Amino acid sequence: MTEQEILDKISHYKFYHIIQLTDTIATPGNPIYVPAQNLCLQMMEKLDLRDKRVLDVGCRDGLFSFKAESLGAREVIGIDNDLSAPATEFLIPFFNSAVKMVQINLYDMTAARFGLFDIVLFPGVLYHLRYPFWGLKILRDLIKPGGDLIIETAVWRGESRNAFLFCPVGDESPYEPSSCTFFNEKGLRDTLASLGFATYAVEYIPEKGGWRRMRKQWLRQIKTCLSGNRPPIRHVARAVLHCTYRGLDRNSRYISYWEGEHTIHSTIGG
């Protein structure tokens, strides 16, 4: 295709991702999300994707799917509950890509249908989940023991010593109403640990203003708490986590309690 033909073709679509097509042409996606996406791409480059099965959850236009393929993945499946026409009709043919994209909700994913994956990419989705624990459990059930999970999400920075989940409704969200799940870092790490994941790295996008901005926010929070007027939670930051699934002891007392049937009460009473 000539450059003009490419420009004419992409003008018919609405893109989410900015994906480089030639040295001079990229898809006209949203630049707001680029810093978080770049952090996720950098984390992917630290992994060995050669000959791996990769699942891209919330794949949209396929930025991470195509990246995984370029890094040597044997098979890449992207899922989204709003499948991207630009990806399926233009980008996959343009790149002569073997990436497969399926329109499906995360909660409907099963290993029986899709098999197990070596690597699961989960960028920009977790904070949209109204049922986050169940969503993470589904991902766990799709990953091979020893497999990697990369999560890019918004993290609430207001607490560090205790595990918290902030789950706003409507205008209380720091973003918009579909953004309804904001773990703090300890809450997300602990939740992942309870599902059998070890978190090896957490990287944040540097915030503008750095230490001075954070200091002002802390002072403001202290002042409002002392006054008894708690403001809405607005301080969230984007982070990328690299986790590895270590497996679970299915006979564990708590796993059987949370996920199956048990005899705990019959045995010990109470």
pLDDT tens by residue, 5-37: 999 999 999 999 999 999 999 999 999 999 999
pLDDT tens column, 107-147: 999 999 999 999 999 999 999 999 999 999 999 999 999 99
Q: 134, 224 in Cβ contact below 8 A? A: no
* pLDDT score, position 158: 79
Query: Which run of H or E residues covers position 197?
Result: strand 197-204
Going by C-alpha positions, the residue among 180, 126, 128 that lies closest to residue 153 is 126
In the predicted model, residues of the chain with pLDDT beneath 50 are: none
| Residue 242 Cα to chain centre, angstroms | 11
Q: What is the predicted pLDDT for the residue at 228?
A: 59
Number of Cβ within a 10 Å radius of residue 218? 12
CA angle, 197 then 123 then 201, to 5°: 45
**Site of tokens 């699961």:** 120
Question: 108: which 2 tokens?
Answer: 């409907």
- Residue-level pLDDT at 216: 56
Q: What is the CA radius of gyration of the chain?
A: 21
Task: Give the angle 210-212-218 at the CA atoms, nearest 5°.
Answer: 105
256 to 33, 79, 188, 209, 229: CA distances (angstroms): 40, 30, 21, 47, 42
Multiple choice CATH, 31-268, 3.30.1490.20, 3.30.70.360, 3.40.50.150, 3.30.930.10: 3.40.50.150
Q: What is the model's pTM? A: 0.90
pLDDT of residue 159: 81
